[in-house]
Structure 1
Amino acid sequence: MTNCVLCKDELKPEEGEVIWRGDDCRVVLVNDPDLPGFCRVIWNRHVAEMTDLTYSEREHLMTLIFAVEEAMRHVMHPDKVNIAALGNMVPHIHWHVIPRFKDDAFFPGSAWSSKTQDTPISIIESRKQKAQQLPAAIRAAIATLA
């Protein structure tokens, strides 16, 4: 599918950065100004639903998602981690792994809710600094899976 935004190999800097890529999946650190540390785990091949994958592919994907979550918890120390797969806007398997904090702009709603509060800039900046450690932590977590 040539018009799928998740099928393209390159990201614009404002979209984020690919921090790990395997044969089947890649992990992207999303450039989200309100939610530093937001990651996506994207299936490389254009597939719309989890049940389109084999059992071993599903297990592989979920193992990667949990590795990202574990690294995120270690680095970011969030109050909660949201893991979501929607695909309503982009029908290509991808999972959102999002560190959530009680003072983030959308808490307690989802990352796609209306803002409920303003997070102080100093806190956002501190989280951006922590998020800079995520790529190495995620790569290390995935390396232990091999």
Structure 2
Amino acid sequence: MAAKVAGCELCEHDGGRLVHHDGDWRVVRVDDAAFPAFYRVVCNRHVAEFSDLDPAERERCIVLVDAVERTLRERLQPTKINLASLGNVTPHLHWHVIARFDWDSHFPQPVWGAAQRAPDTARLAALRARLPELDRVLAERLHYA
């Protein structure tokens, strides 16, 4: 494993509520009030780009991203899943896997874009109430992924 880089947010912190850790990768749920079903698949080595990984590491990454996406689709039936690996602010390889709903405050804009409407607090609360069970199912599936 590459040494941690001082000042790198994802080297120094999990980056959210830890759902799965397998040595090379971790999956966390991001604490985002507006987007509660926001997960990250994070490389535990400090690398900046997907192409920095060897073929087996790239395959493992995609297997994890796929498992998170499939579980969110099955359990939450979102309008859309957003996948992103940006790293402009935190140049440490991580993938965002975000369940999006046509009622969310920013839809159809990206979560980092401009709000389109006020948050639907009732639907957000109902979604948050489902997260402990979702995290449990994700942890189980990722263990076998």
Fold-level similarity (TM above 0.5): yes
Aligned residue among 11, 26, 30 for 1:7: 11
1:103 is displaced (CA, Å) by 0.8
Contact 1:37/1:134 (CA < 8 Å) preserved in 2?
A: no
Normalising by structure 1, report the TM-score. 0.91
1:75 is displaced (CA, Å) by 1.9
Contact 2:105/2:120 (CA < 8 Å) preserved in 1?
A: no
* Counterpart code for 2:52: D
CA RMSD of aligned residues (A): 1.2
Whether 1:47 and 2:51 are equivalent positions in the alignment is no
Structure 1 Cα separation of the partners of residues 14 and 90 of structure 2: 17
Whether 1:56 and 2:60 are equivalent positions in the alignment is no
Deviation string, structure 1 residues 53-107 (Cα, Å, up to 9, x no partner): 0011000001001111111112222111101000000100000000000010110
Runs (4+) off by over 3 Å: none
Gaps in structure 2 of 5+ consecutive residues = none
Partner of 1:135: 135
Structure 2 Cα separation of the partners of residues 135 and 43 of structure 1: 19
* Counterpart code for 2:11: C
Partner of 2:101: 101
Gaps in structure 1 of 5+ consecutive residues = none
Structure 2 Cα separation of the partners of residues 138 and 10 of structure 1: 17
Contact 1:75/1:131 (CA < 8 Å) preserved in 2?
A: no
1:130 is displaced (CA, Å) by 1.7
Aligned positions, number: 141
Structure 2 Cα separation of the partners of residues 35 and 116 of structure 1: 14
Structure 1 Cα separation of the partners of residues 31 and 62 of structure 2: 23
Contact 1:101/1:107 (CA < 8 Å) preserved in 2?
A: yes
Contact 1:75/1:137 (CA < 8 Å) preserved in 2?
A: no
Whose helix proportion is higher, 1 or 2?
2
Normalising by structure 2, report the TM-score. 0.92
Identity of aligned residues (%): 36
